[in-house]
Amino acid sequence: MIIQTPDKYFLVSGYSEGETELNAFDNSLLAAGVGNVNLVRMSSILPPAAKEINPIQLPYGALVPIAYAEEASSIPGETVSAGVALGVTDDPTLPGVIMEHHMHGSEEECRNIVIAKVQAAFQHRGWKLADMKVKVISGKVQRIGAAFAGVVLWT
């Protein structure tokens, strides 16, 4: 097994500018505290009974499972937003659900959409939503900018 099932998580976000959209994305990862690791993008399930922790300094080069959203733009004056939300039940045997959203638009609109996605996921599963965590960031592009938000899973 390359990656153990994580039992901890934390939310991160960052916005930054760069010389290219890829550099802006990389800089947004640095701003979020996950720029010097290898992100392993995952789908949107939080392992059962996972506990939220404060963000930690991740080991350089570590393989880090993460659900994330990112948006970049090279149009000055445009606002880019990225957000994640996770919902958990009051039943520790059930997993949580993580949703992501990215867009050219406001932080408030992104927040509303990502929250609605979590609510819909719980409704479709027939589960009671006991708690929700949300992390959204936006930035107004000066030259080339990128927004990033993620849920880091860790053991």
Query: In which residue are the tokens 């010389």 written?
Result: 19
Residue 12's nearest CA partner among 108, 88, 100 is: 100
44 is catalytic: yes
Which is the catalytic residue, given 44, 73, 81, 138?
44
36 is catalytic: no
Residue 13's nearest CA partner among 76, 59, 55 is: 55
Residue 69's nearest CA partner among 93, 47, 101, 99 is: 101
100 is catalytic: yes
Which is the catalytic residue, given 19, 36, 38, 108?
38
Alpha carbons 129 and 104: distance in angstroms, whole number: 28
Q: Are 66 and 98 in contact, with CB atoms under 8 Å apart?
A: no
3-state secondary structure of 113: helix
Which is the catalytic residue, given 70, 71, 100, 107?
100
Catalytically annotated residues: 38, 43-44, 100
